[in-house]
Amino acid sequence: MSLTRRGAIAALSFLALGACASSSAAPDTTLYLVRHAEKEAGPDPDLTIVGRARADILAQELAGAGLTSVWSTDTKRTVETAKPAAYQAGLPVQIYDPARLDAFAKQLKALPGNILIVGHSNTTPQLVEALGGKPGAPIVEATEYDRLYVVTVTRGRVRSEMRRYGE
């Protein structure tokens, strides 16, 4: 066998091994985190008409994301915010415990795919931070319902950005 042919075979073998190694690496995870949309007053309130419209806008915003799971805390306003995106993706809304954010962050980082998480003004930035992202300034409780965090985990490396959605 000639030296050139051996070199070509070695190069092909190296490329094949590299392809196998990269396919066995942890898959990428993209997390979309939002606070619930506008809510009525009172204990465990429903969304307002504006809040329901915002939940629909969120679903439209994430229509091309290929969501693989949708998570929400167990309150009406968060579940109602998550439902349009979950319905559009053909997924159930799964419930998480906002009192266990560190454990939930570890669970999320191990899941492959594109995941929507709906929480609250005081838990969503904390979860972003627990995931290794940058939470930014505190959410303005009375008026800020349009913050959309995008946290990407690639081979254990975390990148985050903050976007806005809706009006």
Domain-wise residue ranges, the chain: 26-164
- Residue of 143, 138, 136 lying closest to 163 (CA atoms): 136
Tell me the pairing of strands 147-154 and 29-35.
antiparallel
* Average pLDDT, integer, range 47-64: 98
* Average pLDDT, integer, range 31-54: 98
Q: Taking 70 as the threshold, does the pLDDT of residue 29 lie above it? A: yes
* Average pLDDT, integer, range 46-70: 98
Give 26's pLDDT tier (boundaries 50, 70, 90): low
Give 14's pLDDT tier (boundaries 50, 70, 90): very low
* Average pLDDT, integer, range 118-122: 97
Superfamily of the domain at 26-164: Phosphoglycerate mutase-like (3.40.50.1240)
pTM recorded for the entire structure: 0.84
